[in-house]
């Protein structure tokens, strides 16, 4: 049985008995999107989570066509009242009346958001292109026909000039192998010659002391950063995935590992350890017991239908793919060992491209916004060490923290704010951007490079600015 099926049956019966509107398919899609991508239980609805569902999650990962917004809002309202009246709603959820007001406000913008290519994930952008050239996935008789249509769309997409693909993928901003190569070359020029190539700009971070504000800002010395990169758990895990892919693993026509292959990668690479930290950070209560722990190490807890839905794997896969470490040839992915660096400079270049890919994954998972504040708080010549509690206070007072500025319930707002910080610390905690000393975090050369990578990406439009909705 699907994880939401029984709850939906009860909700449908409750609605029918009271003559309330409830579109089960629309509601099921909403619950699936929240569960897979945000780790939110079907009965947990904190303030602002409705706007996130309707204006961020549904446009990026939902069906290609916008939903019938009034029907969706009515169905959500019925579901929230069902949860409240039957005692099923989780603690920390907003009142149904507040959620309805939030849904109606978001509903006025939802169709526009769902039709904006800049808000779509990569798969939706390609499927939209498929519709434009007359190929859709609707009505496919079986999996073979579905794969054949996907192959046609992908082939036509790949045949487009690079500039056209970039134009059609505004949210990606050219986040592909050629862009990765360009960033690698740019970083190399900075490190070797102390200057940026024409057309590139590296914004300066906020001043931390009385340094010369006109002084140039460069990545760290590769002789210092490269050993840190190579020792980081994140880079080691990316390379472990590459070795696991080896001379060939089956992929789908959308360029991700086939589900059965991805599940094997999950087990072989021990990805449950990271996913467990992530699920705790997003507020999930995990089952206990050794038998359950053994089971989860083989299956994970968050349900996913494709490899792209498994964040623990996707945060390794996409950066490796875009950095050229893994390439897709037909129906197989292979590890390109010739892409492995042979000098400290090239290791640093590769690592910075991987960090850009990780930042992109973090942005999709709403865990990027606190990062620069964290890095600047623990950086600088004095290397200020700060506890997570201190960082939580700093993040709370940051202007881009929508929890602090947009939620009336201050206690609930602070809980959500702390949770977003935890997501960020888990997402980037294995990169080597900081180390721990006496229970406090302190920045490293990797953290300095990461701050420059993110700022440069923001400046170039490769990542959305934190103050953009």
Low-confidence ranges of the chain (pLDDT < 50): 1, 171-216, 381, 467-469
**What is the number of other CB atoms lying within 10 angstroms of the CB of residue 468?**
9
Tens of pLDDT, residues 4-59: 888 899 999 999 988 999 999 999 999 988 887 776 788 889 888 899 899 988 98
Measured distance CA(469)–CA(457) in Å, rounded: 17
Backbone angles phi, psi at 205, to 5 degrees: -75, 165
Position 36 scores a pLDDT of 73
Q: Give how far Cα 63 sits from Cα of 53, 123, 151, 344, Å.
A: 13, 11, 19, 44
- Residues across the chain: 469
- What is the rounded CA–CA span in Å between residue 100 and residue 112? 20
Identify the three-state secondary structure at position 115. Answer: coil
Q: Which two tokens stand for residue 318?
A: 């996409």
CA 372, CA 450: separation in Å to the nearest integer? 9
Residues 6+ apart with CB under 8 A from 226: 344, 345, 347, 348, 351
The DSSP code sequence of 314-362 is HHHHHHHHHTTSEEEETTEEEE-GGGS--SHHHHHHHHHHHHHHHHHHH
Closest CA to 43 of 74, 75, 87: 87
pLDDT at 438: 86
pLDDT of residue 197: 36
Six-digit token string for 42: 């079907």
Report d(CA 297, CA 283) in Å as an integer: 19
Nearest to 423 by CA among 284, 303, 288: 284
Strands (E), 53-162: none
- pLDDT, residue 452, reads 87
pTM of the model: 0.58
């Amino acid at each position: 049985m699907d994880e939401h099926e029984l709850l939906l049956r009860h909700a449908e019966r409750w609605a029918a008995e009271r003559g309330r509107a409830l579109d089960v398919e629309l509601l099921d899609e909403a619950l699936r999107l929240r569960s897979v991508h945000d780790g939110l239980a079907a009965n947990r609805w904190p303030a602002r989570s409705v706007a996130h569902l309707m204006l961020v999650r549904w446009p990026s990962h939902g069906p290609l066509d916008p939903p019938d917004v009034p029907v969706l809002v009515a169905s959500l309202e019925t579901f929230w009242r069902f949860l409240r009246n039957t005692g099923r709603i989780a603690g920390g959820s907003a009142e149904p009346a507040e959620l309805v007001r939030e849904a109606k406000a978001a509903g006025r913008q939802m169709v526009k958001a769902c039709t904006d290519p800049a808000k779509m994930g990569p798969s939706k952008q390609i499927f939209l292109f498929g519709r434009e050239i007359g190929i859709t996935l609707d009505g496919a008789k079986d999996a073979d026909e579905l794969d054949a249509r996907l192959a046609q769309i992908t082939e036509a997409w790949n045949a487009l000039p690079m500039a056209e693909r970039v134009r059609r993928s505004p949210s990606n901003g050219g986040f592909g192998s050629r862009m990765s190569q360009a960033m690698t070359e740019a970083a190399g020029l900075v490190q070797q010659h102390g200057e940026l190539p024409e057309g590139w700009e590296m914004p300066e971070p906020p001043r931390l002391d009385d340094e010369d504000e006109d002084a140039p800002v460069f990545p760290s010395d590769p002789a210092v950063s490269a050993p840190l990169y190579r020792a980081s758990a994140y880079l080691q895990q990316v390379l472990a995935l590459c070795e696991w892919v080896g001379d060939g693993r089956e992929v789908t026509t959308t360029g991700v590992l086939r589900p059965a292959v991805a599940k094997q990668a999950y087990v072989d690479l021990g990805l449950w350890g990271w996913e467990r930290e992530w699920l705790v950070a997003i507020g999930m209560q995990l089952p206990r017991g050794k038998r359950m722990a053994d089971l989860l190490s083989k299956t994970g807890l968050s349900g996913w239908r494709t490899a792209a839905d498994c964040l623990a794997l996707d945060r390794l896969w996409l950066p490796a793919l875009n950095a050229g470490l893994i390439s897709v040839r037909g129906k197989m992915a292979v590890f390109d060992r010739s892409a492995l660096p042979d000098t400290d400079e090239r290791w640093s270049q590769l690592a910075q491209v991987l960090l850009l890919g990780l930042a992109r994954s973090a942005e999709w998972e709403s865990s990027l916004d606190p990062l620069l504040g964290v890095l600047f708080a623990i950086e600088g010549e004095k290397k200020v060490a700060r506890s997570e509690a201190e960082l939580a206070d700093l993040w709370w007072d940051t202007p881009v923290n929508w929890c602090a500025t947009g939620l009336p319930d201050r206690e609930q707002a602070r809980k959500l704010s702390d949770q977003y910080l935890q997501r960020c610390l888990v997402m980037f905690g294995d990169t080597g951007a900081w180390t721990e000393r006496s229970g406090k975090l302190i920045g490293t050369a990797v953290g300095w490079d990461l701050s420059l990578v993110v700022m440069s990406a923001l400046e170039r439009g490769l990542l959305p600015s934190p103050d953009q909705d």
